A and B are shown apart, each in its own frame.
Chain A
């Protein structure tokens, strides 16, 4: 098909009435241009984002719609056909390629096995050497970083403003998030990232009497105060919801529930372990303190975790 005349049906417009289509498209494009003008004014005058974006979007849409309609209704529609030539080469050409690979290797490489071996060894060692700065330099070895917190024997519990907790700070049923004293700056209200992310602990006054969450923890709850790591043992979200009636701590991420009276054993949801409990006590000034660090790693599970 060397030359197609416009009278050829393949070259024709799809539109039944091309002149009318042309006028409609012209109007669409013109309104689009006007919309861009409005968008420009909206930007210049700092009108609301929705005026600016709406005008911009409308202009873009009309311009695109007009252009597409032009292509669809007023351009050669075909159908045109293109032959698909086979991609594969002839068997002879394939053989020539394979022969070059095989025969040249036989001559040049196989006779120099030692050179090849040395080069391969060199490249391999280089890859290992190069991987070290690429991977090892990225960060420290984990060590025991996932097992330790900022809590020590005698660390004073403070709230997010840095105020220590006294016996009467919380009424029964009250709850607050506490941090180690050294992580909160009482002047600026700044809390260190580790204090927020690792040491965060939830303090609840469950009753006005000490109670036993688990055997062996008889003296961990002075005056009915109980403290658990706030990091969910499932994925490390803060266990931020407290259902006071049921005495349940709920993780909003995946709905794990922990019973605060029974050692935060999971009652529901995907969390596999109880929240680690803090051994609470008072110091000489009457402030709540940790009597010991957490007895296990806080947060979700990982390979090196021993319990």
Chain B
């Protein structure tokens, strides 16, 4: 580097001030928007390090994958049930009547380069999205994170789950293949079963009788615009409330109702969470590459008079299918009207009750316990046996119904009669939740009484003396048994980069004892 160049560089740096171009950009932005003060606070936002806080991130990042892959798919998908004769590269379908929607989806799978991978990533990401929302919600529920002041965010999250289920079902219906078309027919019949208004609902939604030719275009716009838009709005509110109300945290040394302990947004959390975004995307890509999902070219285009055998819906619809299967055939008739309770109760009233119960739970619990305090510290599930038991019972109910959605497969697999399987589930759907709830309650109560629960146990060494007498001695403590927790420190104003000495760029960080102390 010549002297002049070096000089120019020094001058530029001097003109820019001590923080160079970054300082310049911050300055320009701050002049116009006043971002520096709030921005600094935001960079210091503390994220708790507990692994369970990652579950919501999985939902967020699979949603990102869904949008990215969905945009790609929308460039090729044709939302039309216009019937055409297939002449594409998948030869077994050659010459068959198929719908435009089906033809374009097969085209995405075989004729668009990378299309099959993106399609399968999209489907897997949808299953992961709904799944991670449920698991995230379970974490929130069992640790009591929904309590005051976070009731509203609980309801927003629940609304997003319901929308995600609808979005998944609608997206699954779009390719207009034999299996999804059958699912859509069942959806039509469920809507039709609603007393008083059912036939109007289906006639307006489908533009006439099933299947009509408008439902796929309507579902398309609902799937790619309306529900995603609402989801993005709710997601922004969800995260906005999170920033405003700050995170909850588990009880531990130095953690109180009035602080948040963890790592700061920049750089530590940002590195970790961006890495996690890549890993969630990687999971969908690997699943999309190696685990086939929804091979619609094997099913054929939808024909309402054809059907396949032993098919199950996507997992998040399974509990409703199970409920439909084990419901007795109670249809009310009289006074010139019909109420198909065998459909209306399990497929409309039951999910309505479950979601209503979820939605009002924070208020219900506040009413029952009379606890109107603010809560920023999380409960251990064992410390709230009744709530934990209620949650376990509901999950047991949903899992039993989910299993009941494969009565025919189970009957074939275990070589028992379908009737026995059916009655088994009719009994199990009542018995399993009650027993699971009671067991969970008892387990919680017992765990409360165990000394030192949740902490690492010291091994015990059993010795035999020469006389044949046995004795026990506790093992030596291991090096990291003593979690001497660091007292949390406020986020420093700036990191003081010490002048380099003896050519070493990094002073290994160590506590005075020379042992790195690990924070929980």
Q: Give residues in A with beta carbon < 8 Å to B.
A: 1-14, 16, 18-19, 43, 46, 49-50, 52-54, 56-61, 63-72, 75-84, 87, 135-136, 138-142, 145-146, 160, 177, 179, 188-191, 193-194, 196-198, 200, 230, 234-238, 240-241, 252-255, 266, 268-273, 299-307
Contact = CB atoms under 8 A, between A and B. Distances in A.
A252 B308 contact: yes
Interface stretch (B224-232, B468-476, B502-510): B502-510
Contact of B272 (A68, A83, A194): A68
- Interface size band for B: 35 or more
Nearest to A50: B289
B267 A234 contact: no
Interface string B270-303: 1110111111111111101110000000000001
A262 to B, nearest CB: 16
A238 B305 contact: yes
Contacts of A197: 185, 209-211, 304-305
A276 B331 CA distance: 16
A248 B158 CA distance: 43
Contacts of A14: 516, 518
A32 B387 CA distance: 45
Interface stretch (B10-18, B111-119, B437-445, B455-463): B111-119
B397 to A, nearest CB: 19
Interface stretch (B20-28, B31-39, B70-78, B332-340): B332-340
Contact of A9 (B203, B307, B490, B511): B511
Interface in B188-221: 188-190, 192-200, 202-214
Contacts of A234: 189, 324, 329, 342-343
A5 B498 CA distance: 7
A138 B185 contact: no
27 contacts: A4-B489, A6-B498, A6-B509, A7-B509, A10-B486, A10-B492, A49-B114, A49-B116, A50-B290, A57-B285, A58-B282, A61-B278, A71-B268, A71-B275, A78-B262, A78-B263, A81-B260, A81-B490, A82-B45, A139-B204, A139-B208, A188-B97, A200-B304, A238-B307, A252-B408, A270-B325, A299-B189
Interface string B299-323: 0000111111111000000000100
Given A3-B493, A5-B496, A68 B329 contact: no
B325 A64 contact: no
B105 interface: no
Contacts of A273: 331
B504 to A, nearest CB: 10
A96 B259 CA distance: 29
B309 A139 contact: no
A43 B267 CA distance: 34
A78 B516 contact: no
Contacts of B277: 64
Contacts of B197: 303
Contacts of A19: 506
B416 interface: no
B186 interface: yes
Interface string B115-158: 01100110000000000000000000000000001000000000
A180 to B, nearest CB: 12
B245 A71 contact: no
A12 B510 contact: yes
Nearest to A35: B282
A56 B285 contact: yes
A272 B329 contact: yes
Given A58-B282, A253-B307, 17 more contacts: A5-B498, A6-B497, A6-B509, A10-B486, A11-B492, A56-B285, A57-B283, A65-B278, A69-B275, A78-B263, A135-B204, A145-B209, A230-B305, A237-B307, A252-B408, A272-B340, A306-B338
Contact of A80 (B207, B208, B331, B491): B491
Given A4-B489, A76-B264, A193-B211, A54 B509 contact: no
A81 B261 contact: yes
Nearest to B206: A139
A295 to B, nearest CB: 16
B263 A61 contact: no
A179 B305 CA distance: 10
B244 A87 contact: yes
A53 B285 contact: yes
A60 B289 CA distance: 13
Contact of A53 (B117, B186, B486, B495): B117
Contact of B207 (A50, A67, A139, A196): A139
A1 B329 contact: no
Given A2-B493, A7-B509, A301-B340, A67 B271 contact: yes
A151 B318 CA distance: 36
